[in-house]
Amino acid sequence: MQLKENERIDDLEYKGLKIIQNKNGFCFGIDSVLLSDFAKDIRNNSIVLDLGTGTGILSILLTAKTNLKKIYGIDIQEDVIEMAKRSVVLNRLEDKIEMLHNNVKELETVFEKNSIDSIVTNPPYKKRNTGKTNEAENKFIARHEVSATLEDFISISFSLLKDKGNFYMVHRPERLAEIIVTLKKYKLEPKKIRFVHSTYEEEPKLVLIKAVKNAKEFLKVEKPLIVYDNKGQYTEEILKIYNKN
């Protein structure tokens, strides 16, 4: 596999999977890995969308953690999608994954309404005018709602999902109220929430959310997911997610 300047191949240490990343770009973090595990109940033979795929990490991991039929990774950054396409080839997953260069707001011109079984997304966490603004453009787009807002991600998901289709997202707890209000606005009923804490003592840093289109109200808050134990080592559950125990 030919690499471009500043690119490297990282071993995902899961079923032989690898990924190409640019050290100067936005590299995947634990949030995408945790979301791939949270969404592993995706039904067999599902058609799945990965909105804001970035490096393609979520799409790649889900092909190993589920029996999905096809997953489409969507991202607005053309160079990022080109790199993700090469990761697909590297892993010989061309029959399972297709990477598309699109804005999520325009996906109704690509996919039929009510045609997708499940949607997963690790969207930009920050609103446009918050946080650092002196980042490299690709990092800024990945972290801030420059090209699409939280509501855009949720509204297009309602449009494209089949009735009772599943929506999975990882985000920041400080925006949870806004997330729930927006999900319910678009008839994506929150069904499962799990908070992610760095340690037992710290406040949550991430929240994992599952919603179902046109479902009845019933929300389950799962036990917290703790990343590090009191010795600063990964907890048993995190080691299991990373396939290291």
Q: What is the pLDDT of residues 28-43, one digit of tens each?
A: 889 999 999 999 999 9
The reply to whether 56 falls in a domain is: yes
The reply to whether 2 falls in a domain is: no
Q: Which tokens go with 21?
A: 């990343």
What predicted TM-score, i.e. pTM, was given to this entire model?
A: 0.91
Contact 60, 99 (CB under 8 A): no
Q: E strands along the chain, which residues?
A: 7-11, 18-22, 47-51, 70-75, 97-101, 116-121, 161-171, 188-197, 204-213, 220-221, 225-226
Encode pLDDT of 183-207 as tens digits. 999 999 999 999 999 999 999 999 9
Encode pLDDT of 199-232 as tens digits. 999 999 999 999 999 999 999 999 999 999 999 9
Residues of 114-140 as b/e, b for ≥16 C-beta within 10 angstroms?
eebbbbbbbbbbeeeeeeeeeeeebeb
Q: Which tokens go with 107?
A: 């996906």
Q: Which tokens go with 104?
A: 């999520």
The reply to whether 96 falls in a domain is: yes
End-to-end CA distance of the chain: 30
Q: Work out the pLDDT band at 13, boundaries 50, 70, 90.
A: confident
147 CB-near residues (< 8 Å, 6+ apart): 76, 103, 104, 105, 141
Domain count, the chain: 1
Strand duo 188-197 + 204-213: pairing:
antiparallel
Amino acid at position 97, single letter? I
Q: Work out the pLDDT band at 141, boundaries 50, 70, 90.
A: very low
Range of the domain at 130: 7-241
pLDDT mean over 156-174: 97
The reply to whether 1 falls in a domain is: no
Residues of 69-93 as b/e, b for ≥16 C-beta within 10 angstroms?
eebbbbbbbeebbebbbbbbeebeb
pLDDT at position 103, please? 94
The reply to whether 118 falls in a domain is: yes
Vertex 73, ends 113 and 221: CA angle to 5°?
A: 80
The reply to whether 222 falls in a domain is: yes
> DSSP assignment of 119-187, as one string?
EEE----B-TTSS---S-HHHHHHHB-SS--HHHHHHHHHHHEEEEEEEEEEE-GGGHHHHHHHHHHTT
Question: Where residue 43 sits, what CATH number does that domain have?
Answer: 3.40.50.150
- Closest by CA to 194, choosing from 173, 216, 167, is 173
